[in-house]
Every structure is written in structure tokens, then in C-alpha cells.
Structure 1
Amino acid sequence: MSVPLSVLDLSPIPAGSSVGEAFANTVDLARAAERFGYRRFWLAEHHLNPGVAGAVPTLLMQAVAAATGRIRVGSGAVQTGHRTALSVVEEFGTLDALFPGRIDLGLGRSGGPKGPRRDNGHTERRVVDGVVIPAPVSLAGILRSPRFRAQLELIRQPGAQASDYAQVVDTVLGLIAGTHRSGEDVEVHATPGEGADVQTWVLGSSGGESAEVAGARGLPFAANYHVSPATVLDAVEGYRAAFRPSAGLERPWVMVSADVVVGRDDAHARELAAGYAPWVHSIRTGAGAIPFPDATGAGAYEWDPDLVADRLDTQFVGDAGTVVDRLAALRDLTRADELLVTTITHDHADRVGSYRLLADAWAAR
């Protein structure tokens, strides 16, 4: 089964580079992704990370959409924990008016009240049909870190509480459809936003609330193998179990993400990916993503193998054939309808080259 590939970009800042260069690289990569035949180009939202410039996806989406002509442009994902549904709808309604029929609205729960999560009971690394499903890693250290608390302090209005995620999604859908009514049963209309021709997605890392919200509302779902590989199967299974057909979607539709680096050969790819371990380590310690180091600079960092083993084990690194084989196995195991690829290297040309090699090999396969 052939499925389309899409791109997730964080606007990474390589060591020795700048925010402006990172944004220029994002726009250049989007143009290249369109030439290579990728279906979508999504922009992530991250905050207070010295090595990641992608904090405001809607602004970057405007730059990317203006620089391209066909590729769909989206958010992967808007963090709803510190946003109102109306602000999201107005921003994406504006984008749709400027670039009709090309905008994807990816919604992430991020920071709201947590619903129950599925506990599959797996505590050991497994290999399922050729796909590594690592043991879960505790990220409690990040949540306890002063940097995480500082982010919450800066990103929310004082005293504000994140809304229930299902309620946020329902309000977004209602405002776009023109059917939302306020708590006092007042008819309201979002301008811009109402009637916008956007594709609304839900992104999730587990079989918990995000998967269930997406399924129950008949929305497409993006499962994060690259963020939380231990729970990807729970996420897609939870979504499919909760799915109910909607006016826009008759059957479950799943996109699965993966970290990928493709080189001329396996050794070259491993060299390009050398900075990945210290980069992930910096995130998981709560310090924030460091500027992505080159192979020489990566050797200067000390990192805890246990804290990053799951991400290293599930990053697809190698020549085009090696990576295509692993992506195909992930597609088959998760029964993905699309795959979302994210690639970070120190040199921008290597990143563009990785996407080109992958697109060519995937099309040939």
C-alpha cells in the first residue's frame, strides 16, 4: 500500500546559526518539499527552546503558503492549553481566506486538564512486525523543572485556567460551521473563520483523551511516534475504537510521525544524525532544546543514554533503502493512511538532501 509522505518542521536553529536563518531555511525547505511531492508541510509550536524557532506556527504558515503554490500547509499542532477557541478560528480563518483550500488546522491538547489514559501494561522494549516499540520513559523531571513552570507562567494570562480539551475542539468546530451558541444561548459568528475550508486534525501521543476526542467527532488523527514511540499503538487503537463517521470523514484516517535522517549511505546518515542524542537529552532534562550541534560539536556533550534510548532506538537513520524499509514497516503496523516525517541535521543542505532522497526512494518503492 502506497501512502503519501508529509513534512513536520520545527524551524531548528543549528549551532552557530540564528532565528532569521532558521526561518529562511523553513521557507526554503517548504519549497523543496513541494518540488519533491510531499503532501503537507506542517509547522510545530514550541516555546522557550534556544534551539527551536518555531513558536508561532500561524505566522510561519503564512510565510510558507505565500512561498509555495500547491502543498497543504498546517499546524502540528496549535497548543490549545493557552489559547481560546475563537483566537484559533480567527487565525486559521484568516489563513484560509488568504490561501483558500490549502490550510490544515492541527489541534493539540497541551497543558489542559488531563483525561484518563489507556494503560497497556507494557514496560519492556518490544519489536512488533519489525517496528521498535520501546519501554515508556518517565518525563516527570520535565514537569518538575523550573523551566517548565516558567513557561506556564509566561504563556498564560495570570490566573487563567486551560479549558477542557473536548470543549475547545467542539467550540472550534462549531465556530467554523457557524453553529456555535454561547453559554447564554446567544448565536455568535466568527469573522474571519466561519465557513473556512480548513482540514481540522487532532494530534495525540497516547490512547487517551486526544485519540478519543478525534475519534468521537470523526476527525483525522495524527499519532506521534516521533515524540512518544512507546504509546503509538495505543494512540491509533484508541482512536479507531472511538471513531464515529462524520460528515467529513466516513472511516478512521491516521497519520503517523517519524524522525528520519537519510544519507548517501548508512555511515553518512549516522554522521548527520550525531547531534540528535544531546539535542533530545537537552529537551528531556527540562533545559530546553540546544542549538543542533554538528558531528564534532555533538561529542562535547554528556548525555544520559537511559533518558534518550527510546528516541534513538526509533529514529530512522540510514541510506534511502534502509529508511524506506523502516517507514514501510511502521505504516503496515499502524495501518497509517499517511506518514509525517521530521528531519533535523546541522546543515540545511543535508536536511533538504535527506527529504529529497527519501521522496525519490519512496516513490520508486
Structure 2
Amino acid sequence: MTAIPLSVLDLAPIPAGGTTRQALHNTLDLAWRAEEFGYHRYWLAEHHLAPGVASAAPQILIALVARATSRIRVGSGAVQTGHWTPLAIVEQFGTIDALYPGRIDLGLGRSGQRRAEFARGAAAPPEREATVVDGLLIPKPFDVGRLAGSPVIALFGELLQQPGAESPDFAEQVAEISALLDGSYRSPDGHRAHVTPGEGADLQLWILGSSGGESARVAGERGLPFAANYHVAPSNVLEAVDAYRAAFKPSGVLDEPYVVVSADVVVAPSDDDARELAAPYPLWVHSIRSGLRAIPFPAPEEAAAHAWSDEGWALVADRVDTQFVGSPQTVVEGLRVLQRVTGADELLVTTITHDHAHRVRSYELLAGEWNRA
């Protein structure tokens, strides 16, 4: 099987006992190393009010990472459009592109809008048991409805949006962003707008999605590349890529669909070593699923001392069971399955360990084995 590109998704994680300052320096170091290891792009996520994640202002981090590197593409995975106006997004990324032209990806997601949907009460997921498709685990869907009514969701709304503000339809936002970038924007009453910086920026526009819903449809209908989240919503990955491909229409950007699929990965010299490094991951996921706030990533000894209840484990099982953990050979074998089953054109790897050196080594080992396989 031909080796497709590997890319990096970074949250700028803060380890237990660590600091925000060190986490941000770690991101710059990892980006530089990822470029040397041969990764294709380096994306920063957008997370807010999370004591264990320093990537709250990805636009700033993207500019810093672009400055610290020279070749690797750098971008957002993804801008939460529910928190920003199209004009603000275009101006921010237009500014970065003016300084680092031809290297910047603008990834857009519905995360900010979906929180409002959760607050109103999300629909229960379809009744579907876990299955294995040609060797790839598709777990039972996680019920996001249990997040509905969370006071944390209400707090997000209070702090991330102006009072009374409502995000427009996602498709409309994407259309506005595209029009502002290419200079074709007209207001409903016919007035034109020209954005400086922003108009004419050499940005690669992406849509990220966790289901076969609006994000996949918008990406397909506009002929844009699409990133599907196996690491966040593994139960929906096949639905997402199928919906995107079904909706795809050739555009000035793409003649054919282009799919990136994300994966949560920990690589070490041996399977046992990797399992030890990945042991804190369930506790970290539990903090997100139970309280919507990622905690500082625990140390392995903290994870070893934790006693799990059946209810607690049910909150994290789908994410843990679909994490790729092991030696380089073990993980590459699993990622090849993910590539084959989803038809991915590129894989987006996210790795979190308590120790930064282990995280860097994980990416190094993976890249080396991937390029040999």
C-alpha cells in the first residue's frame, strides 16, 4: 500500500505538574521536530476553559509555529465558527498568510454552534452496537445527549459570545468566508466588502466534521477537502466520509474528494512501553466527557492508582478502544487498516503523553516506520 502523508494535530497539552508556558514551548519544539520527521502539515485545535489544554488561541499559535518552521503547512483543526464572525476569521488568517504565504490551512468546524445545540438538548444517537469493518473497530455511538443541560455549556455561551448573539447557519458562514477571500462578497442589500488583509490570501480552506451531517455535506457540495474525526467520534467516521463523497461536486479547488482521517496514537519501542505511556489517556478523556474540561494530562502512576467504575469506563470506552497504541510496527499496521477502510488520502495524528520527550519520540518512531512500510 502506498504511503499517504501523515500530519499532526496538536492541542498544546499541559501535563500534570506542568505550566502553560512550557506547554506552548513544547508545541513550538514539536512542530520543528515534526517538520524534520517529514510530516505534511501541523494543525492546532481550538479549546477553551480547559485547564489541561493551552491551545485556546490557535490563530496566534499558528503564526508562531509558522515562524518556527520553514516548510511544513500550518493551520487550524479547527476554528470554531460559532465563536467568530466570517470577517474576523478572514482577517486573522489573512494576516498570517501575508507573513507566511502559501503554507497556511484554514480549517473550519461547527463546534461552537454544536454547543448551542447541546444546550437545547441533543438527540440521542442511533441504536447501534459496536462492529468491526474489515478490521477497523467502529464502536457503539457515544450519547452526547448526556452533555445537554451542563452548566459548563452555558458558561461557554456566556464567555465566548456577545450577549444575545446567534451564530448563522454553518453553510452561510463558509460561503461568506469564501466570498471574502476571493473578493466576491456582497451584502444582502448589494454592498461589496474588500478585506485587508484577507482578500486574495493563498489559504487552503478545509472543513472538519464528526458525523455525516452538515459539515460533510457543505464540504462535499463546495468541493473542499474534508477531515473526519476518528479520534473524537470513531463511531461516525464511515458515515462522515461516505456523506462527504456522496455530496462532492468538483470545484476550482478539487477535481475529486480529498479526505483526511484523524487518529489518536501513542508509539514507543515496544507494545508494553506504549501501553504504559497511554495509561493516563482514559482519565483525560473522562474529564472531558464528564465535565467538558480537559484536565492536565496525568502521570502514568496516577492512572495506575485509579479505580474505574463500570459507569465511568462507559464514558471513555469508545475513545480508548480506538486509540492506536504500541510499537511502530503495531501502530502502523493499525493505521493501514484505518487508511484502507476509510479510503483516507492523508492521516492526521494526535498524540498526548505526560512527558514531552516521549511525545516527540512517538512521532519520530511513527514517521520512521510509516515511511519504511
Q: Normalising to structure 2: TM-score of the pair?
A: 0.95
The residue aligned with 1:201 is 206
What is the match of residue 143 of structure 1? 148
Aligned-partner SS, 2:241: helix
Aligned to 1:17: 18
User: Does the residue aligned with 2:23 lie in a helix, a strand or coil?
Assistant: helix
1:326 maps to 2:326: no
Alpha-carbon shift at residue 301 of structure 1 (Å): 3.8
- Match 1:360 to one of 359, 363, 368: 368
- Per the alignment, residue 293 of structure 1 pairs with 298
Residue 122 (structure 1) shift: 5.7
SS of corresponding position for 2:180: helix
State the secondary structure of the residue aligned to 1:124.
coil
Alignment of 1:29 with 2:30, yes or no, is yes
Q: CA RMSD in A?
A: 1.5
Tell me the secondary structure at the aligned position of residue 241 of structure 1: helix
Residues 53, 302 of structure 1: CA spacing in aligned structure 2 closer, same or farther, 3 A cutoff?
farther
| Number of equivalent positions | 363
Aligned ranges for residues 95-244 of structure 1 at < 5 Å? 95-112=96-113, 123-244=128-249
Q: Render the CA deviation track for 1:280-300: whole Å, top value 9, x for unaligned.
A: 000000251111011101234
Offset, 1:148: 1.7
Find the aligned partners of 2:125 and 2:46 in 1 and give their Cα distance.
29
CA contact (8 A) 1:118 1:207 kept: no
| TM superposition score normalised by structure 1 | 0.97
Native 8 Å contact 1:223 1:257 kept in 2: yes
Native 8 Å contact 2:30 2:360 kept in 1: yes
Matched residue of 1:107: which SS? strand
Q: CA deviation at 1:141?
A: 2.6
Q: Report if aligned partners of 1:41, 1:71 keep a CA contact under 8 Å in 2.
A: yes
The aligned amino acid for 2:14 is I
Kindly indicate whether the alpha-carbon contact (under 8 Å) linking 1:260 and 1:323 is maintained by their aligned counterparts in 2. Answer: yes
Equivalent residue number for residue 66 of structure 2: 65
Q: Percent identity?
A: 60
Gaps of 5+ in 1: none
Deviations 1:103-145 (A, max 9, x none): 000000123276xx99995610111111100000112232322
Counterparts of 2:125 and 2:64, CA distance in 1: 41
CA distance in 2 between counterparts of 1:311 and 1:234 reads 17
Which amino acid is 1:17 matched to? G
Q: CA deviation at 1:316?
A: 0.1
- The one-letter amino acid paired with 1:312 is V
Alignment-derived partner of residue 305 in structure 1: 313
Residue 316 of structure 1 is matched in structure 2 by 324
8 Å contact 1:43–1:60 — kept in the other structure?
Answer: yes
Partner secondary structure for residue 190 of structure 1: coil
- Long gaps (5+) in structure 2: none
Could you say what secondary structure the match of 2:238 adopts?
helix
